[in-house]
Amino acid sequence: MSKCQCNVMSKINNDIKLDFKDVLIVPQSSTLKSRSEVDLNRTMKFKNSNQEYCGVPIIAANMDTIGTFPMALALNKHNLLTTIHKHYSNDEWKQFADQHPDAIKNVAVSSGIGESDFTNLSTILEEVPSIPFICLDVANGYSDLFVEFVKKTRAAFPDRTIMAGNVVTAEMVKKLILAGADIIKIGIGPGSVCTTRKKTGVGYPQLSTVIECAEVAHELGGHIISDGGCTYPGDVCKAFGAGADFVMLGGMLSGHTECGGETIERNGKKYKKFYGMSSATAMNKHNGGVAEYRASEGKTVEIPYRGDVDQTILDILGGLRSACTYTGSSKLEELPRKTRFIRVTQQTNEIFQQMEVDN
């Protein structure tokens, strides 16, 4: 082999990496009589915080349109989690905790990695000590600064369960778990309002990264969140089937009453604005504009108003229960073990897509 061919081979990994749309789950024989027998609650013990959690491990993303207090209340009814966005004041946190103490068990407080972020995080946790989860969230979880911040947060809050991300490769999952994180947030570029792949060329297909990162996290006693890229309940099922312990949703929860962001009325129809946290809309709102040295890596869209989120949640949970029965999993916990994927060239029949009146 020529030196030139060798260089090309080491520069390109020729294994095909897959997304949710590239696979389907193969059904298996089952003794389950009804979907209602399926238990979607999972109990987990976290490696570094030593805390136990029991709930349905679907999480509303910490975007300011999605990770709102009203969303947390709606999701808590079904025992789902919400990572609350980082733009609420201490007083708003305190008021929420005072009025809804039962909902706190299913929320995370979010933080970036600046000095002021750490101060805000500490103040909120002082005001509301019952918050069980901290979500340390940066677009690029590969910086040494981020790893140091995880260590500092672990030292300061030894009994809080720390979610940290985002990353997409096994070696970084390992580094973050060893730095003190419990649950690693996996996903770069799959999000519905993310433009990172277009702006930077960086990313990793979501199904493959979940399979690869789950393996190393579980070997170490850690957990992972599949964050971004779910467009239908079936994608949530595939993410769990691939080994995700939690699945985080943004776009699938957008457009509802509980969402933040502007409501727009046009020609008698209502829409809700939904945008990426690195979009120009978010940066204008929270950072006084897009700094000259960076590009926005998110977009803004208008979602036709979809009413209360409750029906959407029931639809997702119904799909998940059904996937469990198709694979013979009496508990969500069994789904990864029972899941076999096949690669496909087409997953659905789109013939009447434009004519749908109900789905």
Does 25 sit near ligand 5GP (CB under 6 A)? Answer: no
**Structure tokens of 295?**
């590009």
Contact set for ligand 5GP, span 167-196 (CB under 6 A):
187, 191-194, 196
* Stretch of residues binding ligand 5GP (CB under 6 A), selected from 7-15, 125-133, 275-283, 332-340: 275-283
Residue with tokens 């087409």: 346
Stretch that binds ligand 5GP, among 11-19, 29-37, 105-113, 274-282 (CB under 6 A): 274-282
Nearer to ligand 5GP, 275 or 326 (CB): 275
Catalytic residue among 68, 82, 196, 327: 196
Quote the CA–CA distance of 207 and 17 in Å, as a whole number.
8
Size of the site for ligand 5GP (CB under 6 A): 25
According to the binding rule CB under 6 A, does residue 234 interact with ligand 5GP?
no
Asked about 196 being catalytic, the answer comes back as: yes
Of 180 and 250, nearer to ligand 5GP (C-beta) is 250
Q: Note whether 114 and 153 are within 8 A (CB).
A: no
Nearer to ligand 5GP, 38 or 237 (CB): 237
Question: 194 an active-site residue?
Answer: yes
> Distance between CA 6 and CA 59 in Å, rounded?
44
Site for ligand 5GP contains 205 (CB under 6 A): no
**DSSP class per residue in 68-133:** -HHHHHHHHTTT-EEEE-TTS-HHHHHHHHHH-GGGGGGEEEEE-SSHHHHHHHHHHHHH-TT--E
When asked if residue 63 is in the footprint of ligand 5GP (CB under 6 A), the reply is yes
Q: Nearest Cα to 119, choosing from 158, 144, 90? A: 90
| Closest separation in Å from C-beta 91 to ligand 5GP | 26
Q: Which of 64, 297, 302, 333 binds ligand 5GP (CB under 6 A)?
A: 297
| Other residues' Cβ atoms within 10 Å of the Cβ of residue 8 | 11
State the minimum distance, in angstroms, from the CB of residue 88 to ligand 5GP.
Answer: 17
Rg of the chain in Å (alpha carbons)? 20
228 binds ligand 5GP (CB under 6 A): yes
Residue numbers 238-257 binding ligand 5GP by CB under 6 A: 248-252
Strands (DSSP E) found in 12-80: 23-25, 42-45, 52-55, 58-60
Question: Which amino acid is residue 314, in one-letter code?
Answer: L
Among 3-11, 89-97, 224-232, 322-330, the segment contacting ligand 5GP (CB under 6 A) = 224-232
359 to 22, 56, 74, 310, 322: CA distances (angstroms) = 22, 24, 22, 15, 16
Rounded to whole angstroms, how far apart are CA atoms 295 and 293? 7
Catalytic (active-site) positions: 194, 196
Binding site for ligand 5GP (CB under 6 A): 61, 63, 139, 166, 187, 191-194, 196, 227-230, 248-252, 276-279, 297-298
